[in-house]
Amino acid sequence: MNRLTTPLLLSLFLSACIQTPPTPPPIQPPAPSTEFELHAISSMVKLHNSEAPYADLSGIELSSWANVSAAKNEREAFQLIISANQTELQNVQVAASDLSGPAGNLISSSNIELFYVHFIELTEASDELGGTGYYADALPPLNNEFEVEKGANAAIWVKLSVPENVVAGEYEGSLNVSTSNAGSASLPVHLRVWNFSLPEKPSMTAVFGISANALSFAYDLKGSELDEKLDEYLSFMLQNKVVPFSGIGHLYPSAEWNGEEVEVWFTDEQLSYMKKYINQYHASTWQFPIGKWMADAKFMQGTAPFSPEFNERMRQYIEKTIAIYKQEGIWNNGEYFTWIVDEPKTREAYEEVNDWSALVAGASPRPKFMVTEQITKQDAAWPALQNIDLWCTSMKVFVVDERADESRYEGEEWWWYNGGFGADYPNPELIDRQPAVGRVIPWYTYKLGIDGYLYWATTYWGSFANNPWNSPKLLQQVADMLGYPNGAGYMFYPSTLISNHTPMNNIEGVTTSIRWEVFIDGLEDYEYLTMASAGARIQALNLIIDSSNKLSFSKEPGDYEEARRILAENIEANMR
């Protein structure tokens, strides 16, 4: 049963809870417009309509006010629903008020971000659990007026950011909606700020790919202008506690063989970027600048791959790069990883992994060597993988395969990556699923004792004739071959095409998705788990993940709200 309707919980302040309160909030809305209605729903509800690009509210619990809770230095969201009951709504505008709190304290309206919820048309389901029609996903910033057809329901994503220095307690405010033809109305907003703060440096390592080529194509940029655009995206990801990888070639050092040794250097601009990412944004790990392409690098010319001379030059390159990192204060306690051979599936690929891992192991100090493969060999006749510091294994292995026994990974780190489809696995990428399938990933990461999570791409947009605004299954031939689902390969939408597909104006920054936002919510949930005591953690985890069936997890918004309340109250009690 949906906990938004459970009477026992109606008196509790739930995280991101959208429900009918036991008593009216202090701020009363003005008499509602007779032409339209306002409601709030949880951010954990995925809106869908099989026939039209707006919300079908059938079966969804609606509230006449928004009630959310969050820690300091945390962001929480809900959805505002605008229903045009009697007439088309013209020139609709939405604005947030300040939130008034204890002893006259305020949370400025500048801490409340508004996004237009755009529906993506899906012409085929991701798998047997998916669907077709129009699904809410893209979240361009609300920067323009819009219309709502008669009988339609528009949705606005409302994200509240709680400042670090705010006073804990109860805050009240409103969302104000005006039209040019049907009057105005307001929705009361209640925020409970818990008396603890989430840390600046994330406790869970989450690593997501980004494509420099995609940004170059989308924004028509090269050289230093592309570097600046990449910095915009990398900074955004890190501010959301996600470490970018793959599209960071502009940060790789230069290297040269002078006839006697390898020389390595960075530009001042490169070091400036790195210091911002590692020190200011507290990156929990970073991809080390090494890859297969280096076999053809200028400083390696004249050497045969994995010959003694090749290995010696690579050793010098690794050690001298690290020496600069240390000198510049960006070695980050050695939290760098390599990823050279992706998903080895043949004997030759296994041998190549071992060649590279032995090479890296010859350097001191050195980055961690990662491989995207399980420990159990795919073929008993193949060589065992050696010198592996970090195993990055598919979700299926950890969730349903007993070979993922933690004792087999003793002394080594292990991540999991991407997701599963064709079965109801946790998966951050699926547009045609309820948001819980992405938010639950950090919960699984904590429960199973996994060290981190990797997702392969946030901007794998393909060509602009086949971009995610109008083709959610990118690279259809690949999708047909591998079964890539709706949303695979991207969490962001090209901001240069916002106005082509929505009433909003194009922006220079990042356009996110509901899938991205709920995954970030899961990262914040993870912080609650790390800060709470064991009893509260077990109680909360058992609400979300079935202790008797690792593949069974809750899809109900109220379960996450209740679990977070349990954790938050425990954390507050422990701080008294």
131-186 confidence digits (pLDDT tens)? 999 999 999 999 999 999 999 999 999 999 999 999 999 999 999 999 999 999 99
510 band by pLDDT with thresholds 50, 70 and 90: very high
Residue 63 contacts residue 41 (beta carbons within 8 Å): yes
374 band by pLDDT with thresholds 50, 70 and 90: confident
Token duo for residue 172? 């009240």
Please name which of 278, 392, 274, 280 lies closest in space to residue 341, comparing C-alpha atoms: 392
Dihedral Cα 375, 376, 380, 385, nearest 10 deg:
0
Please name which of 280, 276, 279, 282 lies closest in space to residue 241, comparing C-alpha atoms: 282
In 3-state terms, what secondary structure has residue 244?
A: strand
pLDDT of 32: 55
pLDDT tens track for 538-572? 999 999 999 887 778 999 999 999 999 999 999 99
pLDDT of 23: 42
Lowest mean pLDDT among 168-182, 308-322, 480-494: 480-494
Angle between helices 223-239 and 212-219 (to 10 degrees): 120
The set of residues, in sequence order, having a beta carbon less than 8 Å from that of 123 and lying 6+ positions away, is: 132
Residues above pLDDT 90, as percent of the chain: 76
- The C-alpha atoms of residue 97 and residue 190 are separated, in whole angstroms, by 12
Residue 342 contacts residue 282 (beta carbons within 8 Å): no
pLDDT of 471: 78
Higher-confidence residue: 547 or 280?
A: 280
- The C-alpha atoms of residue 109 and residue 100 are separated, in whole angstroms, by 10
Count CB-CB contacts under 10 A for residue 100.
15
Enumerate the β-bridge partners of residue 48.
Answer: 135
3-state DSSP helix/strand/coil % of the chain, to nearest 5: 35, 25, 40
Token duo for residue 444? 């699984």
Is residue 200's pLDDT more than 60? yes
**For range 527-542, the mean pLDDT:** 98
126 band by pLDDT with thresholds 50, 70 and 90: confident
Q: What is the value of pTM for the model shown?
A: 0.92
In 3-state terms, what secondary structure has residue 14?
A: coil
pLDDT tens track for 238-247? 999 999 999 9
pLDDT of 470: 85
Pairing of strands 74-84, 205-210: unpaired
The set of residues, in sequence order, having a beta carbon less than 8 Å from that of 572 and lying 6+ positions away, is: 194, 195, 196
Residue 216 contacts residue 494 (beta carbons within 8 Å): no
E strands present in 13-168? 36-42, 48-49, 66-72, 74-84, 89-96, 99-100, 106-107, 112-116, 118-122, 133-139, 146-148, 153-162
- The C-alpha atoms of residue 487 and residue 501 are separated, in whole angstroms, by 17
pLDDT of 482: 57
